[in-house]
C-alpha cells in the first residue's frame, strides 16, 4: 500500500510540473512532441530525417534523453538545431522536472517545434506527462508485430504511431497489417505512418503532417 502511495505522490508532482511546462510551451506557441520507443527502433534516425526535411525552414529544437552518453545529441548537432542532452544515469524515462531543467539550457528563440526524444523504453515513459502536445510512438518491423499487445499502455497514450524500417519487411518475421491492426485495437484513434529512414519512404508524409500541426 505504501508503494502505491509513493508512486501516486511522484506522479502528482510530475503532473504539476508538466502543467507548468505546458503553459510555457503555449506562451511561446511551441508545438511539442514526445518521441518514444524501445531501444533500436530508429527514433534518432527519424529525428534526423525530420530535421533534414525542415532544413531550417521550420526552426526545430531537440531535447535528447539517454541512460548514458551524449552520442544522440552529437548526431543531432550536425543539423544545426538547438539541442540539449539529458543523461539519466540509468533512469528508464524522462520526467517533467528533467525537461523543465533542460529548457533552461536551450535557446528557443524562433523555435516552432520542440522534439523530446525519450529514453528507449516502452513501459515507464507511458506514465509520465512532460507537458507535450502528444506522444509519438515508434515501432520497427524488426521487433515483430506484437509490440502493441505487449505494451498497450504506451500505444493507448500515444496519438501517433510510426512503423519504421519497412524496407526490412522481406527479411523479418513481421506482418505490417497485423502490426497496424494490433495497434488500432489498442487505440483506434492512432494516426499511423509507415517509414524507412534508409529509403526515406514515408518520411515526407510524416513530416508534412507534423508541419501542419506545428503551424496550427
Spell out the per-residue pLDDT of the chain, length 216, in tens.
Answer: 344 444 567 789 999 999 999 999 999 999 999 999 999 999 999 999 999 999 878 999 999 998 766 677 788 888 889 999 998 887 889 999 999 999 999 999 999 999 999 999 999 899 899 999 999 999 999 999 999 999 999 999 999 999 999 999 999 999 999 999 999 999 999 999 999 999 999 999 999 999 999 987
Secondary structure E strands in the chain: 31-37, 60-66, 83-87, 113-117, 134-140, 160-164, 191-194
Q: Quickly count: other Cβ atoms within 10 Å of residue 198's Cβ.
A: 14
Q: What is the pLDDT of residue 2?
A: 42
3-state secondary structure of 67: coil
pLDDT of residue 121: 92
Contact predicate 141/183, CB 8 Å: no
Grid coordinates representing 12 are: 502528482
Backbone angles phi, psi at 121, to 5 degrees: -175, 135
Indicate the DSSP class of residue 40.
Answer: T
Superfamily (CATH H level) for 2-214: P-loop containing nucleotide triphosphate hydrolases (3.40.50.300)
Cell of 160: 501517433
| Burial state string for 79-92 with b = 16 or more CB within 10 A and e = fewer than 16 | bebbbbbbbbeebe
pLDDT at 135: 98
Q: Give pLDDT, residue 89.
A: 80
The CA angle 127-131-132, to the nearest 5 degrees, is 90
pLDDT confidence of residue 7:
55
98 contacts: CB under 8 Å, gap ≥ 6: 65, 86, 88
Q: C-alpha 8: how far from its chain's center?
A: 24
What are the backbone angles phi and psi of residue 38, rounded to the nearest 5°? Answer: -80, 165
Amino acid at each position: 500500500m505504501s508503494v502505491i502511495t509513493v508512486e501516486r505522490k511522484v506522479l502528482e508532482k510530475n503532473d504539476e510540473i508538466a502543467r507548468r511546462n505546458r503553459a510555457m510551451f503555449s506562451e511561446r506557441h511551441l508545438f511539442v512532441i514526445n518521441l518514444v520507443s524501445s531501444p533500436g527502433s530508429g527514433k534518432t534516425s527519424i529525428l534526423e530525417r525530420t530535421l533534414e526535411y525542415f532544413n531550417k525552414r521550420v526552426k526545430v529544437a531537440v531535447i535528447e534523453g539517454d541512460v548514458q552518453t551524449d552520442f544522440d545529441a552529437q548526431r543531432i548537432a550536425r543539423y544545426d538545431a538547438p539541442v540539449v542532452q539529458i543523461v539519466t544515469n540509468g533512469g528508464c524515462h524522462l520526467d517533467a522536472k528533467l525537461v523543465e531543467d533542460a529548457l533552461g539550457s536551450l535557446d528557443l528563440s524562433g523555435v516552432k517545434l520542440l522534439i523530446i526524444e525519450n529514453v528507449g523504453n516502452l513501459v515507464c515513459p507511458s506514465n509520465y506527462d512532460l507537458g507535450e502536445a502528444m506522444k509519438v510512438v515508434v515501432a520497427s518491423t524488426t521487433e515483430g508485430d506484437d509490440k502493441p499487445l505487449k505494451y498497450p499502455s504506451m500505444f493507448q497514450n500515444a496519438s501517433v504511431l510510426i512503423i519504421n524500417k519497412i524496407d526490412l519487411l522481406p527479411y523479418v518475421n513481421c506482418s505490417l497489417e497485423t502490426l497496424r491492426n494490433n495497434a488500432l485495437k489498442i487505440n483506434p484513434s492512432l494516426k499511423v505512418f509507415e517509414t524507412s529512414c534508409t529509403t526515406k519512404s514515408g518520411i515526407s508524409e510524416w513530416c508534412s503532417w507534423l508541419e501542419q500541426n506545428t503551424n496550427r
